[in-house]
Amino acid sequence: MDDDNSINDVMKNGISVGFIGCGTIASSIATGLVLAHNKENDRVTKIKSMIISKRSESKSNELKEKFDNDNSSFSFDITENNQEIVNQADIIFLTVLPTQAKDVLNSLKFDPKRHILISLVSTTNLEQLANYSKLNLSNVSKMICLPSIARHEGIALLCCGGNDSTSNDDTGDKKISNKVLLKSIFNSMGGCVVLDTEYDLEACMVTTCTMGPLYGTMKKQRDWLLDNTNGLTKTDATNLVLKQFQDNDSADTEDNTDIDMLEHLINEQTPGGLNEQALKNYSILGGLHNIQQKVMDLIVNRIRGISNGEIK
């Protein structure tokens, strides 16, 4: 049995997934999985069952209502018992706070022959995940994504622990590696970049962390508009800023593989125009480039345990 046939079998037979923790990211991944499940395509992931933590209760109830309304063809459960999630699911997403990860995993009993643990906990590394869960390193992975994965508009970052080679299962059939399986699942949800080392994953995580400053920039622009106009409503100002960032026609290109796209977008600005002036002024003030460099270096140092990420 080759990898393609193995993956096709998984896609058709379906996966059983569980979520320990149910915040925004867990809800987004669950929604993205169901969106893939509902597509009529043999190459997308089908779900046999899904079980999620009751907390946060608002998120879990929202998912239940959403999936019930979709008439989705899989079993869906909510529980307060994390061990029940482990017992029912083969693929388990860990989406708790960094301070909770160790205690939560230490309290659970996993099956090393069955379970795949995918952690969304940014500051817990693969070796720690394996130690806390008592799973083999090859059965633990780290994943980073943004809420847009719910709409299949984002991209997932993935790093798998241990040896990625295929092996034979108890029946003698070839078993696909976790990396191949998870990559296929997340590719059906908008795309996936697989990193070979945790060091590279940590660097790529930094760009997802800078969404906060981006949102802050957008809010500042909205507030500036409200302070400098007479009749603009908050609703219109918010929509204006959001649409300018989301629907930038200059970034709409059929060739999204152009590695110099960002340079081209900058160079395409009107010479002597307002956008060129704004970017130039950022550089003169020492703001954009220097601040971004410092912020990104501090964030990756926190991820790697070098510092707490604070400016001293």
Question: What mean pLDDT comes out for the span 25-42?
Answer: 88
DSSP 159: E
Mean pLDDT of 26-49: 86
Tokens representing 85? Answer: 């999630």
Domains and CATH numbers, the chain: 3-208 (3.40.50.720), 212-303 (no CATH)
> pTM score > 0.75 for this model?
yes
Does 63 score more than 70 pLDDT? yes
pLDDT grade for 252, boundaries at 50, 70 and 90? very low
What's the mean pLDDT when you consider all of the chain? 83
pLDDT in tens, 90-127: 999 999 988 899 999 999 999 999 999 999 998 899 99
Give the model's pLDDT for residue 167: 44
Q: Where are the alpha helices (DSSP H) in the chain?
A: 3-13, 24-37, 57-70, 82-88, 101-106, 126-133, 178-187, 198-209, 211-227, 234-246, 261-267, 274-284, 288-303
Q: Which region among 75-84, 137-146, 203-212, 288-297 has the lowest average model confidence (pLDDT)?
A: 288-297
pLDDT in tens, 177-210: 889 999 999 998 999 999 999 999 999 988 877 6
